[in-house]
Structure formats: C-alpha cells, structure tokens
Structure 1
Amino acid sequence: MVESGSLSGFEGRCIALPETRQLDVLAGLLERRGAQVIRCPLVSILDTPDQASVAAWLDHFVHDEQVRDLILLTGEGVTRLLAAAERHYVRPAFEARLGQVRKIARGPKPGRALRQVGLASDVISAKPTTSGVIETLQTLSFETDRVAVQLYGSEPNLPLQQALRAKGLEPMPVAPYIYASEMDDVRVLELIDTLSEGRVDAIAFTSQPQVRRLLDLAGEHGREVSLRAALSGMLIAAVGPVVADLLSSRGVHVDVVPEERYFMRPLVDAIATRFAAA
C-alpha cells in the first residue's frame, strides 16, 4: 500500500462522493491527501418496512434444523439481521444457529460483520459478485435442499435463486434492509449541474443504488445528455467489480477499480495512483 504522505496525485483535485454510510471516513481519507471533496450522499439504508417477513424468516431459520446453509451477500445484511433478531427477542437463538450452519459469503464483508458475534464465514466466493457466488456453489455439496439467502437490499437476485433451484435446492430468502433516497431531487440535480460545469475531476461510486439514482434522475429531468458529457470528461472510480459492471452496463466508462481489496482505502489509493500517473 502506498503511504498517504507520499501521494501527491490529489493536489488541486476535486472529487465527488455519492457515499452515505462511510461518507466522513471516505472524505477524510481524500481530504488528508489534499483533495477537495464534494459530499453528495444519494441514498440511505433503512430497515425494511416489512418486518413481519423478517420475523417469520428468523423464526424459520432458528427452528428448522433442515436449514444447514446460509448465503450472505452483504455485511450490512448480517448487521441488520442481528439487530432484527434483537428486536424480535430471538438474538441468542439466532446467534446459536449462525454458529451451526455453513456460512457462504459473497466476498469478505459478511465475515467482518460476523466477527461482532465471534463468528466467521465458512466459505468465501472467489469473486465478490453474484456470479462468483454461483460459481462457488457449483463446487459445494449440500446435506439438505434448504438454503437460507440474505439478499442485497430488496432485490430478489433471481439469477442466484435460479442457480440454487437448478441444483435441486430451495432458497429461503430474506431482505432485511432497503435503499431509500436521502437527497431530495433538487439536490441531486444540483450535483448534476455541478458535474456539468467541469470543475470536478473524479467521482467515486461505492454502491449500485448510487449509480441508478444519479442516472435515472438525470433521465427523468432531461439532464442525461449533460450528465453523460460531464462523466465522459472525468475519472470514474468504482469500489469494486459489482459497481463497475453496472456502470459499464449503463454506458459509463470506468477508469479505476481496486485490484484486490474492495474497500475505501484501496479505492483512494487506486485513484491517487491514477492521478499521479497522469
């Protein structure tokens, strides 16, 4: 890792950050290296309003001994499920069952969340993507046909569920959280206008909902052409391949993705290296 003191690539650079959860952390990493930061949180993460379905899933997971495997797609999901178990008075039983089942994680983040209860992932997909999880599933054998699945936000992740059914397995999905708009439309449009002025050198995306909200709102308000023109003239960074793939699928070029570790500090290092080489 390159030490922050040796990084000069951010001097005079302006970086836009759509991050929400770790906005201050990410902004601090950049500002300490000399960057000017535009904070623009586009989405927030909330507990799902459908708490009844989460309570029913927890009850099933705790009491059905035929559930021997749990697929965890996000660290956020692990944290939200633990909090939900606390609210529904089943946390000790939930933690006990977590320790009994095989925990199949999409990348390292679920494992980091499990550490708060002294547990770890049993299987980690080689790639932190749905396709990576599906590839990993092909190498595993299953004792029963029931597999619990913690979803990414409220998306049903049909490719994963279809892959499980193709193996003769029955997915038991739960969506413990949702993404919601944090900035009102006016502020998002102001961000688009700021990007269009050409004063921003880079934008760093850290989740798929950020990408969708920015592009979709631009389209709804007749600013898609100006936004895409602005993006084409700046450095586009993605925290990992999942976000990078969505950007590419929406016609946005991606200049920077950390090579191995898909976290905030490697993202900042990768952006700095790219600027320093320019």
Structure 2
Amino acid sequence: MSGSLAGRRVMVPETRELEVLARMLERHGAEALRCPLVAIIDAPDPAPVEAWLRRFIATPPDDLILLTGEGLSRLQGVAQRAGIEEAFLAALRGVRRIVRGPKPQARLRAVGLGADLSAAEPTTAGVIETLKGQDLRGRRVGVQLYPDNPNDLLLDFLRGAGAEPDPVLPYAYASKEDDARVAAMLDAMEAGRVDLAVFTSTPQVRRLEQIAGPERLRAALGRTRIAAVGPVVAETLARAGAEVAVMPEESFHMKPMVNAILAALGEAGAETGT
C-alpha cells in the first residue's frame, strides 16, 4: 500500500473509536497495532448520578459545565434508565451550557442543542479563563467531572467566584487490554519497533505507567515518535517524559490529528473521511 505511512508501525491505544482511527491510518499505508488500553463504563454506583439528575430537573442550575462528550452521553443513559430523560433534556434546554471542547459541543448538537460558552482552549485552565469574564456570584453551577480528576482547580475557582458548584461523575474507566499484551507493546516500543504511538486520552498514558512504571515508560516513549490529539493529552505525555512530535494546531479531534501526522511525515493529501 502506498502513502506516507507505508511500512510504519503505529500503536493505537484508542478504545471507543479504535477501528475508526486504525482505518484512517491504514488508508495511508500504516500497520495499525491495536492495543485498546482503557474501557469506559457507567459509574459503578448509579444512585448519586440519578440523585444529581433529579436535582437538576427539580431545581435546574443556572449553568452546566460539560467537560467531556462522554459525560453527557452517560448522564443521558442514567436518565433514560430512570425514566427521566425527557425531563432532563427539557431542563438542559433552560440552563446556560458551557463546554470545554469540541466533544461535548458535538454531543449537545446530537440532542438539538448548542453551547452558550465554549472555552478558548479545551482545558480546565481554558474553562476558568473563559469564566473569569463572567459574574458568577450566587449562581448554581452543575459540573460534569470525569474519572481520575476531581478537578479541585475548577471547583475551587467557582467557589472563589461566589458560585455554588454541584459536581457529578457519571462514568468510570476500566482496564481493557490484558496486562501481558500491554507489556508486549511496551517491549516493542523500547526496542524501537514502533514508529509512532497515537494517544487520544490521558487515561491511556496512565494505564501504560501503571504497567511499566515511570522509568520504563519514559524509556519506551523516548524510543517512539509520539502524536497527541490535543494539549491536555500532550501535557500528560510530557509529564511522563515524552516529547510530543505531532499535535493538531486546532480542532482537537482524531481527523485533524491524522492530518497533522500526514503533514509531519510529508504527505500532502488530507484525511477527509469519517
């Protein structure tokens, strides 16, 4: 197969859209090494999530901060199973909707809504910077969190600005690929047999570190060219000792990331498919 990735072995740790990303890379000649690292599951105890949804419906907050698209999807799922999805979406229409990045924006569009405020940068710091220009005194703010990050930075900012945050954590992460398979992939990276590793979420990096330990992971990342879908993932990789070689300049989705990879490796044609 021809293409700028011909003969390149590319590690793909994505889970939810693994085949989509792998096929994008394979269209340009890559050998996609599928190694899904993290599965997304519903919150083990749905009771606190359902209680949050019922509060949201009974006394809607002034604002809702959506940090991930998955978060809104999981909230909908819990609402549906509790028989309150229609009421939740009706309440959602009446609050100011604030998003961190393109994924929660896309999820809102899927239910016929949009964002009222979007962070200038798709990070917690970007959300805070955007909200600094808003008068938050006395406002009740729902905050959709995501696993492995209690986001005290954002919650403390809201409290300091006079708001009353009401956080909810609607999903969890679970290990996907077995440890032996992950260890074999780390061996290949350390040996220089992986040309590119494409990271799309921070839990992927943390799972590798759990298996490898900090020193071994630093060595494996140091022997492998690294691509990141956006600045949050890039920052996590940098803390793990990686030098991120490829990242989209904007629109932090898989398609722009693949286009950035192609541009970095010298292919003029852009990825235009799904």
Alignment correspondent of 1:24: 19
Alignment correspondent of 1:9: 4
Question: 3-state DSSP class of the match of 2:245?
Answer: coil
Measured after TM superposition, the shift of residue 276 of structure 1 is 1.9
Alignment of 1:1-278 (within 5 A): 8-65=3-60, 67-142=61-136, 144-219=138-213, 225-276=215-266
Residues 101, 122 of structure 2: 8 Å contact kept: yes
Measured after TM superposition, the shift of residue 228 of structure 1 is 2.7
Residues 138, 164 of structure 2: 8 Å contact kept: no
Give per-residue Cα distances to partners, 1:171-216, cap 9 Å, x unaligned: 1000000111011211211111122232210101100000011022
CA distance in 1, matches of 2:245, 2:90: 44
Question: 3-state DSSP class of the match of 2:246?
Answer: coil
TM-score normalised to the size of structure 1?
0.92
Question: 3-state DSSP class of the match of 2:183?
Answer: helix
Measured after TM superposition, the shift of residue 266 of structure 1 is 0.8
CA distance in 2, matches of 1:22, 1:147: 31
Question: 3-state DSSP class of the match of 1:147?
Answer: strand
Measured after TM superposition, the shift of residue 144 of structure 1 is 3.6
CA distance in 2, matches of 1:179, 1:146: 28
CA distance in 1, matches of 2:219, 2:161: 45
CA distance in 1, matches of 2:15, 2:197: 14
- Unpaired runs of at least 5, structure 1: none
- Unpaired runs of at least 5, structure 2: 268-274
Residues 106, 132 of structure 1: 8 Å contact kept: yes
Letter of the 2:258 partner, please give it: V
Alignment correspondent of 2:272: none
Measured after TM superposition, the shift of residue 154 of structure 1 is 4.9
Please report the RMSD computed on the Cα atoms of aligned residues, expressed in angstroms.
1.6
Would you say how many aligned residue pairs link Structure 1 and Structure 2? Answer: 267
Question: 3-state DSSP class of the match of 2:226?
Answer: strand
Letter of the 1:250 partner, please give it: A
Instruction: State the identity %.
Output: 52
Q: 1:226 to 1:168 in 2, by over 3 A?
A: closer
CA distance in 1, matches of 2:129, 2:215: 38
